Structure 1
Amino acid sequence: MKPSMLAAIDVGSNAIRFLISNVEELSPDKPVKKNAYLRIPIRLGTDVFLYGAISEQKQAAFVDAMIGVAHIMRAYGVDHYRICATSAMRDAANGQDIMNLVREKTGLRIDIISGLEEAQILFNANALTRYTDVDSALYVDVGGGSTEVVALRDGKLQEAFSFQLGTVRILANAVNPAERERFATEMRRLGETYAPECVIASGGNINKVSKLLEKRDGKPVGAPELRALYKDLLALPLEGRMEKYGLNAYRADVIVPALDIFLGVVDMSGAKQLVIPKIGLVDGIIRHMWLNADSLEDRACPVLPH
């Protein structure tokens, strides 16, 4: 019998996302059920991309957050969990020490995954099936520390890339010019090779864009309307973005570099529109756990140490 109450935690560069889902069945046409969802705005990436390590203040906040996560999982009766950490924790000089401290305080195990693993979790878990019925598409996930790009043809993965180009990294002026050039070169090549009909866009910022543009049920976003929103946001100060568009402070700064990246993909690949399924890494982790239930023996919800 498969475990039903599952928890997924995405430790990103811009925030921590925590999803609990009581899974009875999975369908590519239906989103993962959200019994509980929490976004914790701890921005680990700023410290890492500027100084190479996570500060004591952020470290303490992160450990507190993980203790809270452990308590919430126990309260919900979570059977199994998986925590995936991406760019910031991967690049931090003290990342392993912090993960060891979390294990000591909570019993929780954190997996550091690569950008390519991140994209594959979503793809292999069939989370994108309903959005890949075009001949060719690019799946693009823009995070705080990196951007993942997957080329799809006839619904099958052809190539996958991870670029050290993310919103928090851009705001910290920590992007290597050579990486920007690699990104541009590959986007043009993917455009010439696959002629993508659309970009399947993922990430918290593009999900917010979908809401701002009132795009429901996966309705496509055209490049002109995306560009118009980008120009308007770019022209506004931070407070102006918050006032006009109702953005939180943690969203108002990163949404502009995110749109810049997505527009770069559209312009260089030749794709005309974006489809925004509002599916993130936590959704993929839940699906991946459900589909690979036999490998969850060491992911049972731990008893908190005293």
Structure 2
Amino acid sequence: MILAAIDIGSNAVRLQVSRPITYDGITIFKKLQYIRFPLRLGTDVFENRQIGDQKFREFITLMHAFKAMIDLYQVDEYYACATSAMREAENGNALLQAVKASCGLDINIISGDLEAELINRVIAFNLQQDEQYLHIDVGGGSTELTLYHGGQKVVSNSFPIGTVRLLKKSEHAGTWDEMLQWIMNHKGKEVPLTAIGTGGNIRKLYELTNKEKGKYIGLKKLEEELEILKNMNYDQRVVNLQLNEDRADVIIPASEIYITIMKKAGAKKIMVPDVGLKDGIISFLYDKNTLEK
């Protein structure tokens, strides 16, 4: 069985092709292909509510390339989903219809709740039964928060706060207050809370702050890294830290989102598992196919 996931985010678009391998009762997902393309649909959408003509054409070209990879790998099933930018784009459905007519690729615009649910499928493996966790997934257009207690999901919500949105200064008034109040309303006070971070920026922050393998970044270390990033200009972040050009600007607002949430939740450290929406999609497809059989 070969499965594929397409994650159409506000900052980048990703394709992952994986083969499930089961041995001795344990299933792993062997990554056969991974492509990340920095299309940044949110730049257009969060400013003009539309995907502009140039990105409209580029997106169709990119989907042709992804469809060709899916065909070359003889993928048994794929799932393509679009998140915050496509949800808000007034011409989002028109673009997806154009892709379908052009190369036959089916794309689903998913809600923030479903986005969180798919990611949570691969987060649960990292949880200890006696701890409380707040999962923070920061994207280009939205932040998904999920609270876990006793190894089980308690509550989740999606907020229109994201890295590209903050760069464009297009977040809605009061949204920060709403998100922080949500945290205070739902986090338990009797058990210490550990944050779990997903998204490309927190993984890059993990690489920058950890010279040895481990699972966590301390809040203090994260704050120190943010100050280092702020004291470097864009070109220095690209050259000195070897950040991708589409990472070098959004990593600062991403850091601010993670730090602000952790402080409000009282989390002193954040776990950084190497999983994301694409992995949740692969897990969903695998369960769907194995349960059907």
TM range, normalised to the smaller chain?
over 0.9
Cα 1:76/1:44, change in 2 over 3 Å: same
Structure 2 counterpart of 1:267:
263
Contact 2:21 2:30 in 1 (8 A): no
Cα 1:87/1:290, change in 2 over 3 Å: same
Looking at structure 2, the residues matched to 8 and 171 of structure 1 have their Cα atoms a distance apart, in angstroms, of: 28
Matched, 1:248 2:244: yes
Residue 292 of structure 1: SS of its match in structure 2?
helix
Matched, 1:58 2:70: no
Paired residue for 1:287, among 283, 289, 292?
A: 283
Cα 1:142/1:197, change in 2 over 3 Å: same
Cα 1:280/1:50, change in 2 over 3 Å: same
Paired residue for 1:113, among 94, 99, 110?
A: 110
Q: Which region of structure 1 is more displaced relative to structure 2, 241-250 or 33-42?
A: 241-250
Looking at structure 2, the residues matched to 264 and 69 of structure 1 have their Cα atoms a distance apart, in angstroms, of: 36
Q: Which runs of 5+ in 1 are unaligned?
A: 297-306
Paired residue for 1:10, among 7, 12, 22?
A: 7
Matched, 1:139 2:135: yes
1:150 deviation in Å?
Answer: 0.2
Paired residue for 1:184, among 180, 187, 211?
A: 180
Structure 2 counterpart of 1:234:
230
Structure 1 counterpart of 2:171:
175
Matched, 1:276 2:276: no
Give 2:9's aligned amino acid.
G
Looking at structure 2, the residues matched to 192 and 133 of structure 1 have their Cα atoms a distance apart, in angstroms, of: 15
Q: Larger % of strand: which? A: 2
Structure 2 counterpart of 1:207:
203
Structure 2 counterpart of 1:75:
72
Looking at structure 2, the residues matched to 270 and 260 of structure 1 have their Cα atoms a distance apart, in angstroms, of: 15
Q: Which region of structure 1 is more displaced relative to structure 2, 213-222 or 72-81?
A: 213-222
Give 1:261's aligned amino acid.
I
Structure 1 counterpart of 2:219:
223
Contact 1:5 1:22 in 2 (8 A): yes
Contact 2:21 2:28 in 1 (8 A): no
Looking at structure 1, the residues matched to 130 and 31 of structure 2 have their Cα atoms a distance apart, in angstroms, of: 28
RCO (CA 8 Å, sep 6+): is it higher in 1 or 2? Answer: 1
Aligned-residue Cα RMSD (Å) equals 2.2
Contact 1:191 1:268 in 2 (8 A): no
Matched, 1:154 2:150: yes
Contact 1:26 1:32 in 2 (8 A): no
Looking at structure 2, the residues matched to 292 and 215 of structure 1 have their Cα atoms a distance apart, in angstroms, of: 39
1:131 deviation in Å?
Answer: 3.2
Deviations 1:191-239 (A, max 9, x none): 4557552111000000111111236655211001000001111122111
Q: How does 1:88-107 map to 2 (within 5 A)?
A: 88-107=85-104
Aligned residues: 293
Give 1:44's aligned amino acid.
L
Looking at structure 2, the residues matched to 44 and 92 of structure 1 have their Cα atoms a distance apart, in angstroms, of: 9
1:32 deviation in Å?
Answer: 3.2
Cα 1:229/1:60, change in 2 over 3 Å: same
Looking at structure 2, the residues matched to 42 and 64 of structure 1 have their Cα atoms a distance apart, in angstroms, of: 11
Give 1:283's aligned amino acid.
D
Looking at structure 1, the residues matched to 78 and 291 of structure 2 have their Cα atoms a distance apart, in angstroms, of: 11
Cα 1:90/1:196, change in 2 over 3 Å: farther
Give 1:178's aligned amino acid.
G
Cα 1:115/1:193, change in 2 over 3 Å: farther
Matched, 1:258 2:254: yes
Give 2:216's aligned amino acid.
P
Looking at structure 2, the residues matched to 7 and 227 of structure 1 have their Cα atoms a distance apart, in angstroms, of: 36
Q: Which runs of 5+ in 2 are unaligned?
A: none
